[in-house]
Amino acid sequence: MQLGYHTITWGGVVGHPVGVTSIKDLFYQTNGSMETAVRDIAAAGYEGTEMFDGNLVEYADRPEELRGLLAESGVKLVSVYSGANFIFADILPEELHRINRAAELAATFGAERLVVGGGARRVAGTTDQDYALLARALDQVTDIAESFGLTASYHPHLSTMVESTHELERLMDRTRIGFCPDTAHLAAGGSDPAAVIRKYPDRIRHVHLKDFRADPFQFLPLGEGDLDFPDIIRAVQESGYDSWLMVELDTYDGDPRAAAEISKKYLDKILADSGL
């Protein structure tokens, strides 16, 4: 197992404002410094990182700057995160154009994986046809990723049409995209993360780890919430997945580097105890 950490903690996540009137430009991005994030992630002992597509767009005209930062820090860009509505026919070509750009940049900077979330909830409610539309779009995302030598995976996420175990079941048999379990989002959606991992062992292509407390609702560094990470890691191990574990924490009241160090120390102990 190799350990990585997402840059989201250094500024949270927003959508690019240009995307309000131009769907093809509605990239995710972290508003913090990627230089600080990468250096802190390296100092905390992680070997890899994940970034949002919009943060790569910022380096599109100066690629050597990001390559140099990663090389100097000894951190690999493992994965890039993007997302879309995916169920509205009129805008799907614009969204896939953006996904294509994200995949192109991911490959440019040496990433191996493209992770996507999404699937819009309609005002009138989600229909069975919406899951068919989402599945079809995710197959197209998979084709795009593969055209750039990347592995694609789908990330269930709160506020999308795939939050609960039942909703995930409605999607997974209809699409060939890989699966990226996010432990906190699965738990917040009412699932047992370890059980979901055990249900889809052959589909796992990426893993997001973060802790979660239900009352009060909060995403937390590993070991500070309610989740059973020893069992989650056992489930990952049982699946045969033996690759990057990406720790992700949306926000943190203190120093982002301190949060990264808390999770690293906790995860190192679990992996050592499990013999990994």
pTM of the model: 0.96
The pLDDT tens digits for 142-170 are 999 999 999 999 999 999 999 999 999 99
The pLDDT tens digits for 43-54 are 999 999 999 999
DSSP SS3 for 264: helix
Q: Using CA atoms, how far apart are residues 233 and 218, in angstroms rounded to an integer?
A: 21
User: What is the domain class of 2-273 according to CATH?
Assistant: alpha beta
Judge whether residue 256 has pLDDT over 80. Answer: yes
Alpha-carbon distances, residue 140 vs 9, 23, 121, 147 (angstroms) = 30, 18, 20, 11
- pLDDT for position 128: 95
Q: Which residue has the tokens 């509605």?
A: 26
List the one residue out of 64, 1, 3, 57 whose CA is nearest residue 29.
57
Q: Are 273 and 234 a contacting pair, CB within 8 Å? A: no
Q: Using CA atoms, how far apart are residues 158 and 170, in angstroms rounded to an integer?
A: 16
Q: Which residue has the tokens 């889809």?
A: 200
Q: Where are the domains of the chain?
A: 2-273
